[in-house]
Amino acid sequence: MKISVVLLFLFFPIFLTLSSAVPSSSSPSVNNSTCPVDLNYVLRLPWNSSACQNFHPSDSVDDTRRSDCCGTLLSLIGIGLARRLKQTSMFNLPDLRTSNSCLHDFQSKLSSLSLPDYLTSFCFDLLQLVVSPDVCVKIQTIPDWIAKLGQTMPLNQGCKPDLTDLTLCGACMSAGFQVQKELTGIDGNSSHARNCFRFAILYAAGIVNEFGPESNGAMTCIFGISVYPSVDSSGNGRHQALVFGLTGASVADFGLAVNGR
Ligand SMILES: *[C@@H]1O[C@H](CO)[C@@H](O)[C@H](O)[C@H]1NC(C)=O
Ligand SMILES: *[C@@H]1O[C@H](CO)[C@@H](O)[C@H](O)[C@H]1NC(C)=O
Ligand SMILES: *[C@@H]1O[C@H](CO)[C@@H](O)[C@H](O)[C@H]1NC(C)=O
Ligand SMILES: *[C@@H]1O[C@H](CO)[C@@H](O)[C@H](O)[C@H]1NC(C)=O
């Protein structure tokens, strides 16, 4: 039985527009430090890198960052950030130097997968992953998050189970939208909607899901990453391409709704 449910909710724009909040620059003069995120999973997990194999940047920075490749990379580094969120309670990296070194490490992994050497410089803004109060309702840590939203959210229930189940994934996804809506409402600045969504994704994957951000369910559903079927499953319908994503078209729609208020 081969189920191929590809609900492609172009999740990419979400993370992406975080970048438009900060000035764009690719200055290499930032000092290096050590990246606190172990990115070896980039080599280990069966993510589908085909969108990045023939990457061609657009003339527009925004269009480039909205490309499938850049979207995939933002989700992919989100796996590490979600794990780190659980460890440190911080939604982003502490400073520019740290972020720079993580992007550098990330690029090294990508390059060792024979992907182009310039991907991170096209896909990421240097400040994109750096902690700041000006991202989503001044949330920088888990205690901030709880102070804004409380504990009893549908996200805490809906994103907990194995999200390779399509129905469960749908429930998690709608809980994610609900949280985003709530946060963006509190924030009042509609240009933060996508940032708030990104935080919802990190929270769902890093804190809520009991299988963790590297699980197949979290990767496919919460991050919307396309993965290759696992080799060991013996054709029992387990390997569905479940590209759902707490992201995407619906978020774009929601963004419009927010902007229209
Ligand atoms: C909304 O957020 C953007 C990006 O962070 C910022 O540039 C802008 O000044 C904010 N607008 C208001 C009204 O605070
Ligand atoms: C990098 O760090 C060194 C020492 O840690 C310092 O002397 C140098 O000025 C720094 N460079 C930049 C560009 O910050
Ligand atoms: C520092 O970063 C630059 C570019 O970001 C890289 O080429 C260099 O190898 C890094 N150095 C170390 C020690 O990581
Ligand atoms: C990998 O992604 C490409 C598009 O980027 C798609 O055409 C292909 O079917 C995907 N492969 C798998 C196994 O999902």
- Which tens digit of pLDDT belongs to each residue from 32-61? 689 999 999 999 999 999 999 989 999 999
29 part of a folded domain:
no
Mean pLDDT of the chain: 81
- Spatial CA neighbour of 59 closest among 131, 122, 146: 122
Query: What is the residue whose two structure tokens read 């979207």?
Result: 71
- Establish if 30 belongs to a structural domain: no
Say if 147 falls within a structural domain. yes
Neighbouring C-beta atoms of residue 141, cutoff 10 Å? 15
pLDDT, average across residues 88-110: 95
Q: What is the mean pLDDT of residues 77-103?
A: 96
Query: What value does the mean pLDDT take over residues 239-247?
Result: 40
Residue nearest to atom 12 of ligand 3 (CA): 32
The answer to whether position 32 is within a domain reads no
Percent of the chain whose predicted confidence (pLDDT) is above 90:
65
> What six digits make up the tokens of 86?
């659980």
Give the pLDDT score at 124: 94
More confident of the two residues 231 and 143: 143
- 150 occurs within a structural domain: yes
Determine, yes or no, domain membership for 6: yes
pLDDT digits (tens, 9 = 90+) for 162-206: 999 999 999 999 999 999 999 999 999 988 998 899 999 999 999
Tell whether the model's pLDDT for residue 245 goes beyond 50: no
Distance CA 229, CA 46 (A): 8
Higher-pLDDT residue of 121, 254:
121
Minimum-distance ligand 1 atom for the alpha carbon of 190: 1
Does residue 120 carry a pLDDT above 90?
A: yes
d(CA 76, CA 8): 16
Ligand 3: which residue has its CA nearest to atom 1?
A: 32
How many domains, in total, are found in the chain?
Answer: 1
Give the number of the atom of ligand 4 that is nearest the alpha carbon of residue 229: 13
- Range(s) of the domain holding residue 194: 2-24+37-133+141-258
Q: Give the predicted TM-score (pTM) of the model.
A: 0.76
Instruction: Flag whether pLDDT at 152 surpasses 90.
Output: no
Is residue 31 in a domain? no
Yes or no: say if 251 and 192 are a contact pair by the CB < 8 Å rule: no
Q: Determine whether the shortest distance from the Cβ of 151 to ligand 2 is under 6 A.
A: no
Q: Is residue 81 part of a domain?
A: yes
How many whole angstroms from 96 Cα to the centroid of ligand 2? 13
The whole-number pLDDT of residue 42 equals: 97
